[in-house]
With several copies, the nearest count.
Chain A
Amino acid sequence: MKKVYGSAAEALDGLLEDKMLIAAGGFGLCGIPELLIDAIVESGVKDLTIASNNCGVDGFGLGKLLDTKQIKKMMSSYVGENAEFMRQYLSGELELEFNPQGTLAERMRAGGCGIPGFYTKTGVGTQIAEGKEVKQFGGEDYILEEGIFADLSIVKAWKADTTGNCVFRKTARNFNPPAAMCGKICVMEVEEIVEPGELDPDHIHLPGIFVHRIIKGEHEKRIEKVTTRSREEA
């Protein structure tokens, strides 16, 4: 079964539908599936619900899908870097379901692992708990959160072998493994494709079983906030 595709558009061929639920990896602009986002913009698919920790920035990452108004709803923990997001949200054009960051990550992992619901203390007694079942364990309240079962996952890894076994680099791993796991189909973009055997089987972060289609491409890897120290501080 050939998993390697020639381009993002080819890899997404037949997978996109209006109103679908897409889980996307990345944190801020770090480790985001840039190429697949561009291809989704090109496709014109609309009314998307996207589960992603953030929604990019104005004009980059998932922000591009805001500019084209292809997103109906976001499931995110933090959307503060994006003026267009705020505009669409405050004007009622865009729905937003806030998820605490850890709850969002766990909901994705749970969906990928066949767990439809789990209890967490996160958000108990807050707006986040509204409408959610509360259950006591050991005399303390926990709320029920549901697994996310996405129609499609779009993620970015550093290197993958042709069977989909892959590794991430530093903090670019972030939401990519849980996002990859929770999709019926997972499409992954990488910086390098290698042959099976080139990755040490003990070093693989996400086994190929979770990855259905792979593309390689050039990434801009834009930095959101360049912060440095001067050499004198050393």
Chain B
Amino acid sequence: MPWDRNQMAARAAEELEDGMYVNLGIGIPTLVANYVGDKEITLQSENGMLGMGPFPYEGEEDPDLINAGKQTITELPKTAYFDSAMSFGMIRGGKIAAAILGAMEVAENGDLANWMIPGKLVKGMGGAMDLVAGVGRVVVVMDHTNKHGESKVLKACTLPLTGTGVVDRIITNLGVLDVVEGGLKIVELADGVTEDELRAATEATIVN
């Protein structure tokens, strides 16, 4: 059986190591925070915060304290606030060890598309282009196929790119793939998913 959202998030959490500064995208990546266990992970929120805490209790929301998804959050003892220029300074400057992001499409060369569908969805890239250009390791977490059953793991992206050759690892409901020389390499299969199933759902070249 393929992984569900929480299992994908739990698998993504295994990517994180003690002491890392990490940026989590919106959606499934946000859930990763629930699975870091005892590891000392510091979450960066690109609107200007290191050391992001959990959602507040009802009635304790602070309009001056939100994350990059505009959700109310809380601070921790280790929290530091800063402005957007400083925030993207640390992102662009490679100080963030890893970003875990959602995607619309990933290509076998590490290209990533997750910000725009021309004529349909024109919301903007937010901080995604800066993150993929700057952080040490980019892990994408997404469903392997779209609503129509078409692969999102492609030979080449069809949508406008967020970054070229930026993705290091892809975690989907079917398994884990790494971007390597010549294509993607299967690292792990979701419980009960066969390699043939994963290959069938993947348009990209799979190498050994």
- Write the residues of chain A forming the contact surface with B, with a CB cutoff of 8 angstroms: 1, 27-31, 53, 76-81, 86, 89-90, 96, 98, 100-106, 108-109, 111-115, 120-128, 158, 161, 163, 165, 168-178, 181, 195-197, 201-202, 204-205, 207-210, 221-231, 233-234
- The answer to whether B47 touches A121 (Cβ under 8 A) is no
Please pick, from A31, A173, A223, the residue contacting B61 in the complex, using a CB distance under 8 A.
Answer: A223
Q: In the assembled complex, which residues on chain A have CB atoms less than 8 Å from the CB atom of B94? A: 114
Task: Pick 7 A–B contacts, CB within 8 A, sort by A.
Answer: A78-B123, A78-B124, A102-B88, A105-B87, A125-B161, A169-B64, A209-B50
Asked whether B182 is an interface residue with its Cβ less than 8 Å from the other chain, the reply is no
Q: Does B71 contact A (CB under 8 A)?
A: yes
| A80 to B37 alpha-carbon distance, docked (Å) | 33
CB of B173 within 8 Å of the partner chain = no
For A1, A112, A114, A158, the residue with the greatest tally of chain B CB atoms inside 10 Å of its CB is A114
A186–B162 Cα gap in the complex (Å)?
Answer: 31
Q: Which 9 A-B pairs have the closest CB atoms?
A: A102-B88, A1-B19, A80-B123, A197-B77, A114-B92, A113-B89, A102-B130, A125-B164, A105-B84
Q: What CA separation (Å) do A100 and B160 show in the bound complex?
A: 14
Distance between Cα atoms of A1 and B19 in the complex (Å): 5
Residues of chain A within 8 A (CB-CB) of B164 are 124-126
Q: Is B126 part of the binding interface, using a Cβ–Cβ cutoff of 8 Å?
A: yes
Interface residues in B59-91 by Cβ distance below 8 A to A read: 59-67, 69-73, 75-91
The answer on a CB contact under 8 Å between B72 and A163 is: no
Contacting residue for A204 out of B56, B69, B80, B116, CB 8 A? B80
For A108, A112, A222, which residue has the most chain B Cβ atoms within 10 angstroms?
A112
Give Cα A35 to B130, complex, Å.
31
Residues of B within 8 A of A124 (CB): 133, 163-164
CA distance A221 to B95 in the complex (A): 31
Judge whether B87 and A224 touch: CB under 8 Å.
Answer: no
Q: Indicate if the CB atoms of B48 and A171 lie closer than 8 Å.
A: yes
Residues of B within 8 A of A (CB): 18-19, 21, 40, 42, 44-51, 54-67, 69-73, 75-96, 116, 122-130, 133-134, 160-165
Residues B75 and A201 in contact, CB atoms below 8 Å apart? yes
A153 to B67 alpha-carbon distance, docked (Å)? 24
Q: Nearest chain-A residue to B50 (Cβ)?
A: A207
**Among candidates A29, A78, A102, A123, residue contacting B91 with C-beta atoms closer than 8 Å:** A102
Shortest CB–CB separation between residue B43 and chain A, in angstroms? 11
- Contact, CB under 8 Å: B78 / A78: no
Q: Looking across the interface, which residue of chain B has its beta carbon closest to that of A197?
A: B77
| Minimal beta-carbon separation of B10 from chain A (angstroms) | 17
Task: Report yes or no: B124 in contact with A224, Cβ–Cβ below 8 A.
Answer: no
Q: Is the CB of B133 within 8 A of A174?
A: no
A109 in complex: contacting residue of B54, B65, B85, B130, CB < 8 Å? B85
Cβ distance B81 to chain A, nearest Cβ, rounded Å: 5
Q: Which residues of B contact A210 (CB under 8 A)?
A: 90, 95
The reply to whether A229 and B63 contact each other, CB–CB distance below 8 Å, is no
Apart from A100-B127, A176-B83, what are 6 other A-B pairs with CB-CB below 8 Å? Answer: A102-B134, A174-B83, A175-B84, A204-B80, A230-B58, A234-B57
With A105-B88, A171-B81, A226-B72 known as contacts, the answer to whether A231 contacts B50 (CB < 8 A) is no
Q: How far is the CA of A214 from the CA of B94 in the complex (A)?
A: 20
Evaluate contact between A209 and B129: CB separation under 8 angstroms. Answer: no
Nearest B-chain residue to A201, judged by Cβ? B79
How distant is the Cα of A29 from the Cα of B64 in the complex, in angstroms?
A: 9
Which chain B positions have C-beta within 8 A of A229? 54-57
